[in-house]
Amino acid sequence: MRDAVARFVHDGDTVVIEGFTHLICFAAGHEIIRQGRRNLTLARLTPDLIYDQMIAAGCARKLTFSWAGNPGVGSLHAFRRAVEGKGAAPLEIEEYSHFGMVARFSAGAARLPFWPLRNYMGTDLPRVNPRIRTVTCPYTGEQLATVPALNPEVTIVHAQRADAEGNTQIWGLLGVQKEAAFASQRVIVVVEELVDQSVIRSDPNRTVIPGMIVHGVVVEPWGAHPSYVQGYYDRDNDFYLAWEPISRDPDKLARYLDEFIYAVPDRAAYVRKQPGLAARLRAGERFSSGVNYGF
């Protein structure tokens, strides 16, 4: 992870660490914080705790997003302090709805400059975000909303498994992992398990990201904690609850960053610091059966 971040994530980049609740790569976010990246434009649908931590650590100049909360719990307080003018540094924001963000990644993946969608009429979002525009349909004459393509410099995708060439398989919630990866100039895949290519090739319909668009593969077990990986470990809902008082208090938040990010060299050390994780969160077994690819 250290080498991948050093090589592919640069100051000033637009960085995407995607994953909708599922497969959020905290390991990558922590390493970016440790390496002290600055002036990043962070983009994802739900900033979640990971971007709250990166904002608190001073990595971000700008945030592009569609829902900034701690799901089912409350606020992202580092984000709120920055936006409400109470933080250490200003934070520029560019705001869409989920559909808008999904469409921006879809346009980016297809290398089209925009994506049309039927949306935003009657809302105040286009008033505060001039990048939400309209286009006239050449068949019906009706006006449709548009959003511009999002083509980040680097996207980091967490996944269950990949082979050495980066052919990556995901099951469970897919979010916009595929679109974000295809939209990006550089792609880092972080996996729970590196597998032989025969595993991938035995079930090619399970592959979501092809190796040809992947620049680096990092093996990092528990790399998504406190987010989760279907079939590997459950979401650490207790930690999401615990984040509320931590993030509410800038001092507590600074101590959290010190203890769990700056003071640990890597993910393995982070996991060792929390010895109960496996016992508490390791996934149960609900195996699917195989299908026949013969002919």
Partner 1 sequence: MAAVAARELRDGEVVFVGIGLPNLACNLARRTHAPRLVLIYESGAIGAVPERLPVSIGDPALVTGSSMVCGMADVFQSILQSGRIEVGFLGGAQVDRYGNINTTVVGSYERPAVRLPGSGGAAEIAIHARRLLIVSKLSLRAFPERVDFITSPGQRHDGVPRSRLGMPGAGPVKVITDKAILEADEATGEMVLAALYPRVDDADVRREVGWSLRRRPRLGRVEPPSATEVRLLREVLDPRRLYLKG
Residues of the shown chain interacting with a second copy in the complex, contacts defined by CB under 8 A: 111-114, 116-118, 131, 133-140, 142, 144, 146, 148, 160, 169, 171-172, 174, 199, 202-203, 205-206, 228, 230-232, 234, 283-295
Phi-psi region of 141 (alpha: psi -120 to 50; beta: other; left: phi over 0): left
Question: Shortest distance, CB of residue 239 to partner 1, whole angstroms?
Answer: 12
Q: Which is nearer to partner 1, 53 or 66 (CB)?
A: 66
Report DSSP letters for 131-144, one per residue: T-EEEE-TTT--EE
CB of 34 to partner 1, least distance (A): 27
Which is nearer to a second copy, 52 or 95 (by Cβ)?
A: 95
**In terms of CB distance, is 7 or 201 closer to a second copy?**
201
- 193 token code pair: 């398990």
116 touches, from a second copy, partner 1, none (C-beta below 5 to 8 Å by class): a second copy
Query: What are the structure tokens assigned to 131, written together?
Result: 């990048």
140 binds, among a second copy, partner 1, none (CB under 5 to 8 A by kind): a second copy
At closest approach, how far in Å is the CB of 98 from partner 1?
A: 4
61 binds, among partner 1, a second copy, none (CB under 5 to 8 A by kind): none
Picked from partner 1, a second copy, none, the partner binding residue 50 (CB below 5 to 8 A depending on kind) is none
Binding site partner of 134, from partner 1, a second copy, none, Cβ cut-off 5-8 A by kind: a second copy
Minimum CB separation of residue 261 from a second copy in Å reads 26
Count of CB atoms within 10 A of residue 139's CB? 6
Distances (CA, A) of 44 to 95, 96, 246: 10, 10, 22
Q: How far apart are CA 27 and CA 277, in angstroms?
A: 15
**What is the C-alpha end-to-end distance of the chain, expressed in Å?**
41
Per-residue H/E/C for 83-122: HCCCCCCCCEEEECCHHHHHHHHHHHHHCCCEEEECCCCC
Nearest 10 degrees: CA dihedral of 214, 218, 223, 228? 40
- Size (the chain), residues: 295
Q: Which two tokens stand for residue 230?
A: 């279907």
Shortest Cβ 87–partner 1 spacing (Å): 11
Residue nearer to partner 1 on the CB measure, 71 or 265: 71
- In the list a second copy, partner 1, none, the entry touching 288 (Cβ below 5 to 8 angstroms by class) is a second copy
Q: In this structure, is the dihedral angle defined by the CA atoms of residues 32, 162, 64 and 154, taken in order, positive or negative?
A: positive
DSSP lists the bridge partners of residue 154 as 15, 186
Of 241 and 269, the one with the shorter C-beta distance to partner 1 is 241
Give least dist CB 63 to partner 1, A. Answer: 11
Print the SS3 string covering 262-280.
HCCCCHHHHHHCCCCHHHH
Q: Which does 217 bind (CB under 5 to 8 A by kind): partner 1, a second copy, none?
A: none
Taking the least distance from each CB to a second copy, the nearer of 80 and 225 is 225
Cβ proximity to a second copy: between 168 and 247 the closer is 168
